Structure 1
């Protein structure tokens, strides 16, 4: 499984990165599959550095704040109005119950049909996995001030040519403060892509919104993850600060996400 950091800026695009968007690629033995986790403001342009838009196999939304979903409006334009047509059918989109209506409202459409002619909207059900190609994706409810917010556990079975060898696990926190759902989603993960929008001493008095680097590190330790990558850092949050906070409470490898960097999981 390959992870590409398309966008990792928290809450809105920064000078060096779009808002949240992550490209995950895996091969099922016949062809590569490409899914996007979140498609936040500013991300659609950057996605095109790494793939053709027609090669999107599915989109998984953690929640419906604009910095995680709003560039679906631009993707709708590409699907509907590209002069060469769209040759892949509707794009599957998994998200909260309000996803279709939220996007229609953002674009000024009537709710019916909204964007249903371009996207095949599917609803998350708590801890019920969905399968797309080689990916199994399971949503876990987390602690963020919207009606539905999820951490996503992404699993891919890897093969060595003689039989199934192992399952690679990537957990994405979405936006959350500390909670049991986050730790359950990350349990024994190979790679924990975890938000750390807040800093200790500046924001730690704010509860039920975002993690600090320390809180992210504590979750990583309790979940026994192998590697921690901090993401969703707003322009006013220091990568050095949150990484140092995480290292105080987590003994594994930790770094901050940078747009354009690739990881093999």
Structure 2
């Protein structure tokens, strides 16, 4: 299983990165590569095409319905609906040519209507030929090829979920490994459950200690993300969703003070092999 960071800017696209989007891929026993996208925030559809033809995605998981995590679903709908026959995509070696059915999209209750409103569908129109939308049910696993997704409710001003993705190790396919993605959340029991014994914790760290102490129930700081990784025994911490206005390295400096394991700052194009 491998993670490719498509976009890692927090709250809005930054000068160096699109908003949140993460491509998780794994090969099954027959050698077929399965592709799961976690979030498709503002600006992310463009860089996604460097790594994967969107028509070849097997599923999308939306952590919540703020634009920096789902706005480019509108562009994806256009891509799937109007793509010229035979167009081969932009990713190296990509392009099966056409989908055999609608793309599975998992998200909070209300995702289908939110996407329709965001795109501006006319009355009577539907996205169902391109997108098959399903509501997360906390704790209920979803299978995407060799990947098992388990949504976990977390704390944010709107319904939000983190996701534990378990699949075959890139180095030893007989071993199962887990990527835990927090989405947007403050410290909460759900975050603790996500981080527990995860091989990699992909954690947002949008807030800064001292500056944002009076604002709770929305985001993590680097320190709170690091504490969750430490308490949960996570093997590696990747900090993401950092707004362009934050001081460079602040999230890392906060996390390293409380988490003794390896820490990375997410960057576009970064690949993490589990």
TM-score, with structure 2 as normaliser: 0.92
Aligned length: 262
The correspondence for 2:161, drawn from 150, 154, 158, is: 150
How far the C-alpha of 1:160 sits from its partner, in A, is: 8.6
Report the CA distance between 1:231 and its aligned residue. Answer: 0.2
Q: Could you tell me how far apart the structure 1 residues matched to 2:119 and 2:6 are?
A: 24
Alpha-carbon separation, structure 2, partners of 1:98 and 1:160: 39
The answer to whether the Cα contact below 8 Å between 1:100 and 1:116 also exists between their aligned partners in 2 is: no
Is the contact made by 2:235 and 2:261 (CA closer than 8 Å) also made in structure 1? yes
Aligned mates of 1:159, 1:17 — CA distance in 2: 26
Q: Determine helix, strand or coil for the equivalent of 1:216.
A: helix
Alpha-carbon separation, structure 2, partners of 1:10 and 1:143: 17
For residues 227-251 of structure 1, the C-alpha deviation after alignment (integer angstroms, 9 at most, x for no partner) is 0010000011134111010111111
Task: Tell me the alpha carbon deviations over residues 58-96 of structure 1, each in whole angstroms, 9 at most, x when there is no partner.
Answer: 101100000001111001111111121772121110001
Query: 1:108 Cα deviation (Å)?
Result: 1.2
Tell me the CA shift for residue 114 of structure 1.
Answer: 2.8
Query: Any conservation in 1 of the 2:26–2:168 contact (CA below 8 Å)?
Result: no
CA displacement at 1:165 relative to structure 2 = 3.1
Alignment of 1:62-141 (within 5 A): 62-84=63-85, 87-88=98-99, 89-110=101-122, 112-141=124-153
CA distance in structure 2 between the aligned counterparts of 1:37 and 1:8, rounded to whole angstroms: 12
Alpha-carbon deviation of 1:185? 1.4
Contact 1:204–1:212 under 8 Å retained in 2: no
Give, in whole Å, the separation in 1 of the partners of 2:236 and 2:128: 38
Consecutive unaligned residues of structure 1, counting only runs of 5 or more, are none
Question: Which digits, 9 at most, give the CA deviation of each residue in 1:138-160, with x for residues without a partner?
Answer: 010001000x1001000003499
The answer to whether the Cα contact below 8 Å between 1:94 and 1:121 also exists between their aligned partners in 2 is yes
Do structure 1's residue 55 and structure 2's residue 56 form an aligned pair? yes
Root mean square deviation of aligned Cα: 1.6
**Is 1:23 equivalent to 2:23 in the alignment?**
yes
- Given that 1:233 and 1:239 are in contact with CA atoms closer than 8 Å, whether structure 2 keeps it comes out as no
Alignment gaps of 5+ in structure 2? 87-96
Q: Matches of 2:243 and 2:8 in 1, distance apart?
A: 9
Q: Deviations over 1:161-187 (max 9, x none)?
A: 9xx732110000000000010110121
Distance 1:110 1:100 in 2: 14
User: CA 1:7/1:207 → structure 2, altered by over 3 Å: closer, same or farther?
Assistant: same
CA displacement at 1:112 relative to structure 2: 5.0
Does residue 171 in structure 1 map to residue 183 in structure 2? no
1:239 and 1:256 in contact (8 A); partners too: no
In the alignment, is the contact (CA less than 8 A) between 2:170 and 2:273 conserved in 1? no
User: How much does 1:55 deviate?
Assistant: 1.0
Q: Could you tell me how far 1:255 is from its partner in structure 2?
A: 1.9
